[in-house]
Chains A and B, each alone.
Chain A
Amino acid sequence: MDLAVQAVRAEPAGVAGRPARSYWRESGERLWTNRLATACAGYVVLLAVAALLAPLIARYVTHYSPTDQDLTNLFRPPGAGHLLGTDELGRDTLTRLIYGAQVSLTVGFLTAALSLVVGGTVGMVAGYRGGLVDTALMRLVDIILSIPAIFLFILLSTLLRPNAVTLSFIIAFVGWGNVSRLVRAEALSLRSREFIVATRSIGAGAIRLMLRHLLPNALPVMIVAASLAVGQIILAESALSFLGLGIQPPTPSWGNMLSLAQQYYYHSGWLVIFPGAMIFLAVLAVSLLGNAIRDAFDPRLR
C-alpha cells in the first residue's frame, strides 16, 4: 500500500520531466513573475499598511487628525504644510485620504469574504444537490441579480445609515449571487467525477464531501471570483458614500469626501481630484491584480 502510493506520487515528476510542484505553488510562481501584478500587489499592500498605521501617520507624519478643523486655513491649495490642501473646514486632505483607505479596504475585503462564504455555500449546495433545491436557489439568484444593485443598496441603507461593517453586509447581500453561479457550475461538473462517486460509495456524508472534496476543487474559481469582485465592491462602497447613503461624516471615506467637495468645485478643484484619483487607483490596482490572479490560477485558461 505504502509503496503503491509512493510510486503514484513519484510518477508525475518522472513523466513530465520536471520537479513535481503543487498547483498552488505553480500558480503562485506564475503570479510572482508577472511584473504588473507584483506592482499592483505592492500598491495594495502599501495602501493596507497606510490604512493600518493611519493614527501613527496622522500623528508623526502629517501632524493633523482627520477631524481637526482649522477655520483660519480653509480651502488651502496643495502645498507646504498641507501637502494635498485643506477642505471647507480646514481639515487636512492627505490625512483624510489615508483614513479613507481604511473604509474602502475594510469594505472591499470583508464584503468579498462574506460573498464567498454565502455564495460558496449556496452554489455548492445547489450544484451538489441539484433538482428542486438547485432550481429554487438559482431562481433566487436570478431575482436578486435582476434588481439593479444600487437601487437595492439604497433600499437597504436608507434607514440604516451604515458603518463599514454593516455596509459590507449590505453589499455582500447583493454580491453573493455571481459567486454562487460560478461555484454551482463547478460543483455540477465535479459531482459526476470518479473521485466524488468513489468517496460517496465508501460512505462519506454530504457535508464531509462538500467541505473535504468539493471545496478544495472549487477554491481556484472562488479565489478568482473574489479577486475580480473587490474592485467593483470598492466602487459600490464609494458610490453609496458619495450619495450620502454609505459611510457618514465625520468618518472620512473617499466617497463622502467627493460628495462634500462637489459643492466647491468652482473654486477648489483639487478637492474633487484627489479622492476620486484614490478610488480610481485602488480599483485599478485591485482589478489588474484580479486579472493576473485569474490568468495564473484559473485551471480553464491553461
Chain B
Amino acid sequence: MLWKFALRRVLAALPVVIGVTTVTFLLMKVTAGNYVPGLDLNPDLRPEDVAKLRHELGVDQPLYIQYAQWMVGVFLRGDFGRSLRDGTPVLEHIWTRLPASLELTVTAILIGVALAIPIGVASALRRGSRLDNLLTGVSVAGFAVPQFWLGLMMILLFAVSFKGWGLPWLPSGGQQSTIGGGDPLDLVVHLILPATVLSFVYLSVWSRFVRSSTLEVLSQDYMRTARAKGMTDRRAVYVHALRNSIVPLVTLIGLELPGVLAGGLVVETVFSWPGVGLLTYESAKSYDFTMVLGTTTFVAMAVVVGNLLADVLYAVLDPRIRYS
C-alpha cells in the first residue's frame, strides 16, 4: 500500500520537475538571451575567436536546440550546463558547495523544530497567559524581521561588541577559521550565528502552528477521557497529544522548504557561508547566467523532492491517513 502511494506521488512530482526545469531555462533566456559576459569587452579576442567561444558554449544555436540540449543534459546525463566564466561543469561547483548548505539548513531546521515544539505546547497549555502573549508577540516580530538585518545585528553584538567588551565572542563569518580551523569545536562555533538567524523566522511560524494544532488536539474526546481517568494535563499532553499535534509539522516543514532555502541564500551571503546560495549570489554578480540557472534548477528540484519525502513521511507517521 505504502509503496503504491509513494510511487503515485513520484509520478505526480515528475511533471513539476520537468516544468521547473523548463521555466527556469526560459526565464534565463528571456532576461539574459545569449549574452556571454566579458566577450565583448576583451580587446585581445578576434571576432572569429568570439564566434568559436560562443559555439563551444552552444549559445549560437537556435532556442529550441538549446532547450533540447538543456533538458537532455539535466535529465539524461545529469549535466546542468557549464559556467560562462571558466567552462567547468555547473554540477561540479554545486557538489563542492552542497555539504556546507546542507550543514546550515539541516541545523537550522533542527533548531527550529527543537524549539518550536516546547514553545508551541507551552503557549497552548497556558493559553491567554502572559507567557502566551509574549510568545505571540515574538513570533509576529520574527515574521517581520529581515533576516539579513538580524544577521548583521547578531554580528554587531556577538562578534564586534563582545570582542570589544572582552567577552567570549563568535566569528562573524565563514564555515571555519582560515588558519588552523576545521576541528569540531571550530566548526560548531562558526555554525551558531548563521544557523540561529536562519531558524528564527521558521521558528515563529512553526511554534504558532504547534500551538494551534495542540489546542485542537486538547479539545478531542480522547484527551477528555485521559483526564477523566485521572491523568494530569501535563502527562496527558506528553503521552497522547504531542504525537498527534506534531505530525502535521512534517508537512509544514516540507511546504516551507522553498522559504528555508531562499533564506539560506541571504544568510549565506551575510555570513560568507560557502554554500550553494553564496555560489548563486557570486555568480549573479559576475553575470554567470548558466551557473545561476543551474543552481536555481537544482534547488527547485530539491524542493520538489523534499515535498515528496514530507508527503510520504506524513503517511508513515500518521496511521489515520488512507493512501488515496
Binding site for B on A (CB under 8 A): 139-140, 142-152, 154-160, 231, 235, 238-239, 242-245, 258, 261-262, 265-266, 269, 272-273, 275-276, 279-280, 283-284, 287-288, 291
Distance (Å) between the CB of B105 and the closest chain A CB? 11
The CA of A179 and the CA of B35, in the complex, are separated in Å by 34
Partner of A155, one of B141, B152, B292, B304: B292
Q: Is B149 touching A280 in the complex (CB atoms < 8 A)? A: yes
Contact across chains for B300 and A158 when beta carbons are under 8 A apart: no
User: What's the least CB distance linking B112 to chain A, in Å?
Assistant: 17
- Cα of A147 to Cα of B287 in the assembled complex, Å: 20
**Least distance between B63 CB and chain A CB atoms (Å):** 17
Q: Is the CB of B19 within 8 A of A139?
A: yes
> Could you tell me if B156 and A147 are in contact, using CB atoms closer than 8 angstroms?
no
Residues 24-59 of B, flagged 1 when their CB comes within 8 A of A and 0 if not, give: 100110011001000000000000000000000000
Selected from A155, A231, A266, A273, the residue in CB contact (under 8 A) with B24 is: A155
| A262 nearest in chain B by CB position | B152
In the complex, are the beta carbons of B295 and A158 less than 8 A apart?
A: no
Bound CA span A160–B143, Å: 29
A291 to B208, CA, bound (A): 14
| A151-B299 in contact given A143-B19, A244-B285 (Cβ < 8 Å) | yes
Pair B31/A160 contact, Cβ less than 8 Å: yes
Which secondary structure dominates where chain B touches chain A? helix
User: B144 in the interface, Cβ–Cβ < 8 Å?
Assistant: yes
Task: Find out whether the CB atom of B32 lies under 8 angstroms from the CB atom of A266.
Answer: no
B23→A139 contact, CB < 8 A: no
Is B149 touching A147 in the complex (CB atoms < 8 A)? Answer: no
Task: Give residues of chain B (144-173) contacting chain A, Cβ–Cβ below 8 Å.
Answer: 144-149, 152-153, 155-156, 160
> Provided the pairs A147-B300, A243-B269, A283-B144 are in contact, do residues A154 and B284 lie with their beta carbons within 8 angstroms?
yes
The reply to whether A243 and B266 contact each other, CB–CB distance below 8 Å, is: yes
Contact across chains for A142 and B287 when beta carbons are under 8 A apart: no
Q: Return B323 CB to nearest CB of chain A, in Å.
A: 21
CB distance A154 to B27 under 8 Å?
no
- Among B35, B262, B296, which residue has its beta carbon within 8 angstroms of that of A159? B35
Q: What are 10 A-B pairs with beta-carbon distances under 8 A? A: A140-B19, A147-B24, A147-B296, A154-B280, A239-B148, A272-B149, A273-B156, A279-B146, A280-B149, A283-B144
Indicate the member of A156, A159, A273, A287 with the most B CB atoms within 10 Å. Answer: A159
| Besides the known contacts A149-B262, A262-B270, 11 further A-B residue pairs in the complex with CB atoms under 8 A apart | A139-B19, A143-B23, A146-B16, A146-B304, A150-B265, A159-B289, A243-B281, A272-B156, A276-B153, A287-B144, A288-B140
Q: How many positions in chain B have a CB within 8 Å of any CB in the partner chain?
A: 48
Smallest Cβ-Cβ distance to A232: which chain B residue:
B143
Partner of A147, one of B15, B35, B144, B258: B258
Pairwise interchain contact B285-A269, C-beta atoms closer than 8 A: no
Q: What is the minimal beta-carbon distance from A139 to any residue of chain B, in angstroms?
A: 6
Is there contact, CB below 8 Å, between B144 and A284?
yes
Pair B27/A146 contact, Cβ less than 8 Å: no
Contact A142 B16 (CB under 8 A): yes
Q: Which residue of A lies closest to B30 (CB)?
A: A156
Residues of A within 8 A of B111 (CB): none
Q: Which of B20, B28, B149, B299 has the most CB of A within 10 A?
A: B149
Q: Which residues of B contact A140 (CB under 8 A)?
A: 19
Instruction: Report which residue of B19, B155, B289 has the largest number of chain A beta carbons within 10 angstroms of its beta carbon.
Output: B19
Pick from A242, A269, A291: contact of B160, CB below 8 A: A269
Q: Contact at A143–B146, with CB atoms within 8 Å?
A: no
B152 pairs with A265, CB closer than 8 A: yes
- A284 to chain B: which residues have CB within 8 Å? 140-141, 144
